[in-house]
Amino acid sequence: MKVAIISDIHGNLYALERVLEDIEREAPDRIVCLGDVIAFGPQPDEVLKRVRDLGCPVVMGNCDVFFVEWPLPAEDSLNYDRVKWAVERLSPSDLEFMASFQPTVAVPLQDGASLLCFHGSPRSNTEMILATTPEDELAEMLSGFDARVMVGGHTHLQLIRRMPETVVANAGSIGMPFNPGDHSTFVPWAEWALFEFSDGGLSVGLRRTALDVAEMTARATNSGMPGIEQWLAARRR
């Protein structure tokens, strides 16, 4: 059984399309999206439609909540302006679809085992699981949740950690993969994950899909998104 995991697309249609091309070649049995689908990116409505057309389960990311709870209290910030701009491009059925996103998604595997999918941690879409998270803190985040493998997003940094009862992974980000040590710039690829389960064995693949940065930025240039120059500059570097 193959399960492809996509996460943190953040309204980047070009990156999503390239990843889906790679996923199609792998022919997975299931796709799961870990949330943060459209916020802060130049193609929010197009990305939401593409994810909706996949027909896959979607986890509620912390940035997806902004749209479900819209209108937010007004504030003077670029991110607020970007969310407002995106909301204006969505239909009532789009917002209804986002409200259907789930806190977690469990994918049944062999012999009663499961793959548990979430955004930040199983208990909260705002918690961060990092390579540096102390083991006792991570154990507390996972407490009460039972799965052979657990996978999240949110941090925009790919990860595999072995815990006593489970393997914890992070699929990374499709639309805004961080440059470790400098989160103001992004690496020139999109990140996702592929899990393969066969005869009791497990393979965890942290994948990278190369991107044509010139094409990606050209397609976003005339989107009209507030702060588009900052979005472009973070990728050109």
User: What's the CATH code of the domain at 18?
Assistant: 3.60.21.10
Would you state the pLDDT for residue 200? Answer: 78
* Tens-digit pLDDT profile for residues 143-197: 999 999 999 999 999 999 999 989 999 999 999 999 888 888 899 999 999 999 9
Quote the CA–CA distance of 58 and 79 in Å, as a whole number: 22
**Which position has the token pair 């440059």?**
179
Quote the CA–CA distance of 105 and 102 in Å, as a whole number: 7
- 4 strand-pairing partners: 31, 194
* Tens-digit pLDDT profile for residues 42-61: 999 999 999 999 999 999 99
pLDDT classification of 217: cutoffs 50, 70, 90: very high
Total domains in the fold of the chain: 1
Would you state the pLDDT for residue 201? Answer: 87
Asked if residue 132 has pLDDT above 80, the reply is yes
* Tens-digit pLDDT profile for residues 77-124: 999 999 999 999 999 999 999 999 999 999 998 777 899 999 999 999
Asked whether 159 and 204 are in contact (CB, 8 A), the reply is: no
Asked whether 235 and 217 are in contact (CB, 8 A), the reply is: yes
Would you state the pLDDT for residue 25? Answer: 98
Would you state the pLDDT for residue 74? Answer: 87
Element (H, E) at 140: helix 135-142
Q: Which domain holds residue 188?
A: 2-236
Residue scoring higher pLDDT (198 or 200): 198
Would you state the pLDDT for residue 84? Answer: 97
Q: What are phi and psi of 143, to 5 degrees?
A: -60, 135
Q: Where are the beta strands (DSSP E) in the chain?
A: 2-6, 30-33, 105-108, 114-117, 149-152, 159-162, 167-170, 178-179, 182-186, 189-198, 201-210
